Structure 1
Amino acid sequence: MVIKLYTTELSPSVRASIMAFEIFQVPYENIEVNLSDKSMLDPEFLNKNPMRTVPVLEDEDFILHDCHAILMYLADAYGTEDTWYPKDYKARALVNQKLAFINEIIFSGFKKIAYSVVVERRKTLMPQWIETIEEGYSIMEKFLNKTTYIATDDVTIADLSAYSNMSCLIYVIPVDRQKYPKTLKWCHVMEMQPYCKEFNNKSAATFGDLYKLIMSH
């Protein structure tokens, strides 16, 4: 039975999961969840994920939500290269550390901005939101001073998660070339990866266009 993945296009977490499905060559059925009609409040969906979020992975009676949990699962279950989610416990701990940072700073910042602008149609950003994103950029720069990618010298699932969010955030708060040169270079490297070109960049640009449209009217 083909795995089902419940998605919505503009979600960075969804795009990171889809990239992982493609990288690890896992067949799946993409089931789009309509946010506007509150499908996430349906009892059937709440039974799958009481947190009312996407993505949700459904593999027969096995159901998993949370992007990072899905990335870990796919890498462990289907990955053939050790680099994406290393078996070495120290290298894996570094990946887990960066995933925690993404949740706490990068995704948290994006979520607040996206909800306030796209859902609530606010046209001003709270100063602390901007400060949080700038802090995230600064921390990423420090990570990238030590390794080629944000966790190790190889691209990992942490980069998929980080870039899916960063590719949207750069439309809100561009990465300053003078302050964060390594972060900007990393963004360009990720942007050119085949899986990002095919499954991320277009949707990130759609978010950027929507953001600009709302903020200009």
Structure 2
Amino acid sequence: MDLYNMSGSPSTRAVMMTAKAVGVEFNSIQVNTFVGEQLEPWFVKINPQHTIPTLVDNGFAIWETRAIVVYLVEKYGKDDSLYPKDPQKQALINQRLFFDMGTLYEGIAKYFFPLLRTGKPGTQENLEKLNAAFDLLNTFLDGQDYVAGNQLSVADIVILATVSTTEMVDFDLKKFPNVDRWYKNAQKVTPGWDENLKSVYFFHYRSSNVSVAMPNMDLYNFPMSPASRAIQMVAKALGLELNSKVINTMEGDQLKPEFVKINPQHTIPTLVDNGFAIWESRAIAVYLVEKYGKPDSPLYPKDPQKRALINQRLYFDMGTLYDALSKYFFPIFRTGKFGDQEALDKANAAFGFLNTFLEGQEFVAGNQLTVADIVLLATVSTVEMFAFDLSKFPNVERWLKNAPKVTPGWEQNVESLQQGKKFLEGIQAKEKEAKA
């Protein structure tokens, strides 16, 4: 069950809390609407309306938060308490859900969400409509502990996700005493509340701080290189924009004094984040997730065992897979020929190891996409520049074919590969001319 979502958004938080209440888990796939990922062809194919969150449950795709939460309760709920079968109780819950979508959520979106784009809230008219929406909710809650009946329902969960968005801003709920009372009580009885609050605060941090830091984040790179492509995909997964500064290693840019001053090891990619310089792509990937990812990001979780497995795969990439591929394939850029038979044997052995890691798994280090997948995908996808048959490694081939569906920034990775392929074809054409 995949949930395409954007962490911190009220809609996503509503679905997450409902999932917690019914005891289901998702494979969380981030879709960053700030950078337009919802418009990418692979996502539009899943959801032509290109909205988040979107749930895909064994091939069944459904979107619109309120439709998703009802579906989850009806299919996976242990009972019908969150969405009773009684028509009158259902009707009241449905009314509150439509009220949230058309009145309350719309009011919050039009007044508060401009802050994320412009740094300023909406107009006075927007504020008045928002206050009117809270007045209505206050009326619904007069003498009641829940928004639709005498027990917690999906209506409470959805509206709670919406109202908790006000934690990001200076908005006094005490003006609406019934809402304030309900909100304080809801926190005690709603599964997943702590995770909801963390996501609110993280979303606020991302929207108010990361955008400021991004213009000062420079990535010195060579776009065709696997290491550079890996960092571009990690950045995409985190919604970061890096100021790309191309270092053409074929012309020796990495040896120029101004670059050696930044990185005395003169390797690419090198990241400079507000004066802090770090190199080695795998170290950069982990750093970006640790600093700019959501708390306990699935890309690099806090759990020591999960991290250990991810780290093992990252070291495997550097010391075995990337090393083998670079020694067999990369000589063609300098000499016009691949490496020797020994180099090919080592490349095949490395792919054999990776094939074993992927036996019965969709991802290389656990049950979800991590930085290990992104880094290894950047390495493995390099073979698409050459005539190399991956069918000998069926698990690797399957994993690579799945990459466009789950890996943010995959299209940019492919574009860089195509540039590399054209560059190689140019070298080969010049060699033919020289021989002629």
TM-score band w.r.t. shorter chain: 0.7 to 0.9
Match of 1:180 among 176, 181, 191: 176
User: Partners in 1 of 2:93 and 2:198 — Cα distance?
Assistant: 26
Give, in angstroms, the shift of residue 195 of structure 1. Answer: 2.5
Match of 1:110 among 98, 108, 111: 108
Residues 198 and 124 of structure 1: is their aligned pair in 2 closer, same or farther, counting only changes over 3 Å? closer
* Larger RCO, structure (CA 8 Å, separation 6 or more): 1
Tell me, yes or no, if structure 1 residue 155 matches structure 2 residue 155. no
User: Partners in 1 of 2:140 and 2:42 — Cα distance?
Assistant: 41
Q: Which one has a larger percent helix, Structure 1 or Structure 2?
A: 2
Partner of 2:131: 134
Residues 132 and 213 of structure 1: is their aligned pair in 2 closer, same or farther, counting only changes over 3 Å? farther
Match of 2:193 among 171, 193, 197: 197
Residues 124 and 17 of structure 1: is their aligned pair in 2 closer, same or farther, counting only changes over 3 Å? closer
Residues 176 and 22 of structure 1: is their aligned pair in 2 closer, same or farther, counting only changes over 3 Å? closer
Residues 212 and 183 of structure 1: is their aligned pair in 2 closer, same or farther, counting only changes over 3 Å? farther
Amino acid at match of 1:155: L
8 Å CA contact 1:175–1:184 kept in 2: the answer is: no
Partner of 1:31: 29
Moved more, 81-90 or 141-150: 141-150
8 Å CA contact 2:3–2:27 kept in 1: the answer is: yes
Once the two structures are superposed, the pairs formed by residues 1-217 of structure 1 within 5 Å of their partners are 3-119=1-117, 121-172=118-169, 174-177=171-174, 179-193=175-189, 195-208=191-204
8 Å CA contact 1:85–1:92 kept in 2: the answer is: yes
8 Å CA contact 1:56–1:63 kept in 2: the answer is: yes
Give, in angstroms, the shift of residue 61 of structure 1. Answer: 2.2
Moved more, 73-82 or 33-42: 33-42
Moved more, 189-198 or 72-81: 189-198
Residues 211 and 191 of structure 1: is their aligned pair in 2 closer, same or farther, counting only changes over 3 Å? farther
Amino acid at match of 1:4: D
8 Å CA contact 1:12–1:165 kept in 2: the answer is: yes
What number of residue pairs does the alignment pair up? 210
Amino acid at match of 1:74: L
User: Partners in 2 of 1:141 and 1:152 — Cα distance?
Assistant: 15
1:3-41 deviation per Cα after TM superposition (whole angstroms, max 9, x unaligned)? 111111121000110111111112321111123432111
1:143-195 deviation per Cα after TM superposition (whole angstroms, max 9, x unaligned)? 11153201111011011110111011254352442x42111011111223462
User: Partners in 1 of 2:207 and 2:29 — Cα distance?
Assistant: 25
- What secondary structure is seen at the aligned counterpart in 2 of 1:135? helix
Using the size of structure 1 for normalisation, the TM-score is 0.88
Amino acid at match of 1:69: A
Greater C-alpha radius of gyration: 2
User: Partners in 1 of 2:128 and 2:169 — Cα distance?
Assistant: 12
Residues 211 and 128 of structure 1: is their aligned pair in 2 closer, same or farther, counting only changes over 3 Å? farther
Amino acid at match of 2:132: E
8 Å CA contact 2:31–2:37 kept in 1: the answer is: yes
User: Partners in 2 of 1:138 and 1:173 — Cα distance?
Assistant: 18
Give, in angstroms, the shift of residue 196 of structure 1. Answer: 3.9
Amino acid at match of 1:134: N
Gapped regions of structure 1 (runs ≥ 5): none
- What secondary structure is seen at the aligned counterpart in 2 of 1:85? coil
User: Partners in 1 of 2:94 and 2:63 — Cα distance?
Assistant: 17
1:77-99 deviation per Cα after TM superposition (whole angstroms, max 9, x unaligned)? 11123220011000000000000
- What secondary structure is seen at the aligned counterpart in 2 of 1:195? coil
- What secondary structure is seen at the aligned counterpart in 1 of 2:49? coil
User: Partners in 2 of 1:96 and 1:125 — Cα distance?
Assistant: 28
- What secondary structure is seen at the aligned counterpart in 2 of 1:5? strand
CA-based RMSD? 2.1
Amino acid at match of 2:158: S
- What secondary structure is seen at the aligned counterpart in 2 of 1:152? coil
Using the size of structure 2 for normalisation, the TM-score is 0.45
User: Partners in 1 of 2:102 and 2:35 — Cα distance?
Assistant: 29
User: Partners in 2 of 1:213 and 1:28 — Cα distance?
Assistant: 28
- What secondary structure is seen at the aligned counterpart in 2 of 1:200? helix
Amino acid at match of 2:122: L
What's the % identity of the aligned pairs?
A: 28
1:87-118 deviation per Cα after TM superposition (whole angstroms, max 9, x unaligned)? 10000000000001000111112222344111
User: Partners in 2 of 1:165 and 1:100 — Cα distance?
Assistant: 13
